[in-house]
Amino acid sequence: MTNIRIGRRAALAAGVAALASPAVVRAQADPIKLATLTPLTGAGGPYGPVMAKAAASVVEEVNKAGGVLGRRIVLVSEDDQTNPEAAVRAARKLIDVDKVAAIMGTWASSVTTAVAPLCWESKTFLCTVSGADSITLLPHQGFLIRTQPNSKLQVTRVGEFILSLGAKKAFTMIPQTPFTQSTFDILNQVLPKGGCAHQSLIYDDKKTTYRTEVDQALRTSPDVILANGYTPDTVVLLKDLYRAGFKGKILGFAYSINQKLVDQVGQPEVVEGVYNFAPASAEGSSAFEKAKAASGSANPDPYTCQVYDHINLVLMAIASAKAATGEAIKENIRKATMSGGKVVDNAVDGLKEIAAGGKVDYAGASGPCDFDEKGDILDCKFRYEQIKAGKFTLVKIA
């Protein structure tokens, strides 16, 4: 009987407390809402679903371990369709209806450019894998980080690789994107220093043939062509280059020259010898192994590894801040990775360390997640592959 009375009194006291401070009780019970906004369809469709799956797997593990600040995490996944207009609609829903504290995984630079103003205006934190230099030059007020190296770093490395192939004449073919002009400017600086002339053109990525553009490029007798579009238009471009008899080397970013492109081309001779290039994940690291498990992929692409890092960083930033708002994440995101604390490779371990009063230094699946004041990743390695007999083979990681 004594235990029953105590239980009733405790229940009564809890009820009184709830009536006295309902906002506090609700805040403790309400889940923390976060979001992925990835390209589930469109040109980025081969990447978005796996990116979202990796983030969801991390959330599931964290919830099993008790959540963050005693609260469950709810992850909302939306499709940006690799389209700025669709992305803005989805972001507006995430911000206004779902009221998420952070959006993670925007892929195309045009999408991130369109979504970023909505985020900083609403104080929603944004993590992106887009590479255009212009993104971190936006007045984002600190509400943005990107794990993808900016286009200056990427295109500089592309130029260096083109020179390593012995090219004396290079030609870039690219659709209009936020990084088109910067690509031209950077290559025009890097290539001539190595004795390689460079010319370029912008094409319409909606066309069904690029034979006119290919003829224009081949009149310059290039040793190397940089095919710098997305998968759908690069499929068409590679076929037209093959039909035109181009015998030089072809290089493109791995987000377009991938297994889906090989399958869609359907002619091994068209893609034989083509190179691709991407920021390299931290292969062999414990975080990379965890990203493999989270994504269900034996070889997760760099974007998946980066989104795996996004969700881990955001969760640890919330724990460090003891608050689940975009502003709290902004003020604490670097405490999860640049604090000089205990090295961790996942949020569950990091949350335990933070709860015990310690500091953490996250070592990610995409590499060291250290950011400058603009939100740019400070450094990473790059991976170069070549298609041989229909398979991607590693050339080097540097």
Of the pLDDT bands very low, low, confident and very high (cuts 50, 70, 90), residue 11 is: very low
CA atoms within 13 A on the CB side of 322: 4
What pLDDT, in 10s, does the model give residues 96-139? 999 999 999 999 999 999 999 999 999 999 999 998 888 999 99
What pLDDT, in 10s, does the model give residues 261-292? 999 999 999 999 999 998 889 999 999 999 99
57 neighbors 315 (Cβ within 8 angstroms): no
What global pTM score does this model have? Answer: 0.76
Predicted local confidence at residue 321, as pLDDT:
97
> Over 80: is that where the pLDDT of 75 sits?
yes
DSSP β-bridge partners for residue 173: 201, 227
What is the β-pairing status of strands 102-106 and 32-38?
A: parallel
> Which single residue is written with the structure tokens 């390299």?
280
**Torsion of the alpha carbons at 76, 255, 182 and 386, rounded to the nearest 10:** 160
What pLDDT, in 10s, does the model give residues 333-362? 999 999 899 999 999 999 999 999 999 999
Domains 11-149+283-362 and 152-280+381-397 share a fold: yes
**What would the mean pLDDT of 4-13 be, rounded to a whole number?**
37
Predicted local confidence at residue 53, as pLDDT:
98
Q: Give the domain ranges of the chain.
A: 11-149+283-362, 152-280+381-397
316 neighbors 341 (Cβ within 8 angstroms): no
What pLDDT, in 10s, does the model give residues 123-180? 999 999 998 888 999 999 999 999 999 888 889 999 999 999 999 999 999 999 888 9
**Torsion of the alpha carbons at 76, 120, 362 and 322, rounded to the nearest 10:** -80
CATH H-level, domain 11-149+283-362: superfamily? Response regulator (3.40.50.2300)
| The CATH number of the domain covering residues in 152-280+381-397 | 3.40.50.2300
12 neighbors 53 (Cβ within 8 angstroms): no
What pLDDT, in 10s, does the model give residues 14-34? 343 333 444 444 445 699 999
The count of other CB atoms within 10 Å of the CB of residue 374 is 16
SS (H, E, C) the chain: CHHHHHHHHHHHHHHHHHHHCHHHHHHHHCCEEEEEEECCCCCCCCCHHHHHHHHHHHHHHHHHCCCECCECEEEEEEECCCCHHHHHHHHHHHHHHHCCCEEEEECCHHHHHHHHHHHHHHCCEEEECCCCHHHHCCCCCCCEEECCCCHHHHHHHHHHHHHHCCCCEEEEEEECCCCHHHHHHHHHHHHHHCCCEEEEEEECCCCCCCHHHHHHHHCCCCCEEEECCCHHHHHHHHHHHHHCCCCCEEEEECCCCCHHHHHHHCCHHHHCCCEEEEECCCCCCHHHHHHHHHHCCCCCCHHHHHHHHHHHHHHHHHHHHCCCCHHHHHHHHHHHCCCCCEEECCHHHHHHHHHCCCCEEEECCCCECCECCCCCECCCCEEEEEEECCEEEEEEEC
Distance in angstroms (rounded) separating the CA atoms of residues 101 and 126:
9
